[in-house]
Structures are given as structure tokens and as C-alpha cells.
Amino acid sequence: MKYLSALGLRNKSSEPYRWVVVEMNMNKSGFSAKPLPRDFYARDTKTVAVELLGKNLVHHCSEGMRIGRIVEVEAYLGPHDKASHSAKGVTPRTRVMFGPPGHAYVYLIYGIHHCMNVVTEAEGHGAAVLLRALAPVAGIEGRTSGPGLLCKAMGVDRRRNGIDLCGDTLYVTEENGGTFSVSRRPRIGVGYAGRWAKQHLRFYIQDSPHISRP
């Protein structure tokens, strides 16, 4: 399956994007059980970020299968992006970011909250997309608006750091398609990053009640 590097159609104001989800391959439960292939992730990070919206995050954990529809993400473009963890180079923490695409980069913040990213672009690049919010689909209890709440609801913690998202435990699949508007805003909590703090690299499904903030 080939994936195109397209970001949809702009309206006259150039925002929000109008995005049409395509490449549907559904089963009777309304989502594809097949993980997205490696080449989906091995592309421009902003493209991957936008195209993750509307797709399902699936986790087979000890409590059963949990599924949430991705409604909000942030793109971290590489070492030149001063808001990215990879700006500090390869460290024990960021090693996964510099690894091959299609793996999960999971870290802990404030000593209590886990955050899940998907690694993008070529190995050695150091880019990833942070998953910020989900709409619950199946097996989820609790809030899912915000990266820490998302991980808690999905049962994702540092034990999943580095896991292959093309495997059968934690992965992303297509949703049931449709058309929605995508809004762009600056990323949250990166005021330290200078001009990078103002870049519109947070993408979310407009009017979703599950986003972390407008």
C-alpha cells in the first residue's frame, strides 16, 4: 500500500485544512485490524502528523483490547527543532527517536505522566509525532484529552518504549474514513523553544470534543 505526501486542500483563508481520509480497508467492526506499514511513518513528519488524525490507536494489553481514534497530535521535526527532545542529540532517552520509523517513543514527564510518540522519517533523523488526544472507541475508561491521560486510558507506559508499531501489540490502523477539518496551532508547553514555540505544528480535528484545548 502506497501513501502519498499530501496535506489536503486549503480553503481561501489557508486554514483550517480540509482533509479526506482515504485508503479504507475495513472489517466488520468498523476499523482495519492490520497495522499501518512502515512506509507510512517513513515520510515527512508534518505529513504523517496530519494523516494520523482519524486513525485508530490499538493496544492489546493484559486487560484486553483498547481502541481510540486519534484526534490531536504535535509534530517534532528533528534536532533543528528546538522544542524536540532530539535537539539535545542522541541520549539514552532519545535513542528511540533516532531509530527506524514506525516505533513508539514513550517517556515520562513530571515523574507521573507518560507520553507516546511515533517515530517518523529515516533512521538517524530524530523526528516524531506526539499523540495528544483520542476519542474513545472500545475498551477505554477515563479521559483521553492530553498525552498523559491518553497513555493512562490506553494502558501505555515506558514498557512500550521502542515497540514496533508494525507488530501486533500496539499499533495504528485506518478508521472508517470520512471528511473533517484540521486546525493548526502552536504546540503546547514549549515556550522555551524560541521561534519554534510559535510554529503551527499542533494539528487536531476541528470541533472534536476530545481535544486537550482549542
- Tell me what the mean pLDDT of segment 131-140 comes to: 96
Q: Does a structural domain hold residue 182?
A: yes
Q: What is the mean pLDDT of residues 38-64?
A: 96
Domain holding 168: CATH number?
3.10.300.10
Among residues of the chain, what percentage have pLDDT more than 90? 78
Classify residue 15: in a domain, yes or no.
no
The number of folded domains in the chain is: 1
- What residues have CB less than 8 Å from 121, skipping those under 6 apart? 41, 42, 43, 44, 45, 78, 101, 127
Assess if residue 152 is contained within a domain. Answer: yes
- Residue scoring higher pLDDT (27 or 143): 143
- d(CA 76, CA 166) in angstroms, rounded, equals 21
In a domain, 77, yes or no: yes
Name the pTM for this structure.
0.86
Q: Is residue 14 part of a domain?
A: no
For residue 164, the 8-state DSSP code is: B
Cα separations (Å) of 50 from 76, 155, 158? 13, 24, 25
Mean pLDDT taken over the chain? 87
How far is residue 118's CA from residue 106's CA, in Å, rounded to a whole number? 9
pLDDT given for residue 32 in this prediction: 53
Residues contacting 55, CB < 8 A, separation 6+: 21, 36, 69, 70, 172, 173, 174, 175
Asked whether residue 6 is domain-assigned, the answer is no
Range of the domain at 82: 31-204
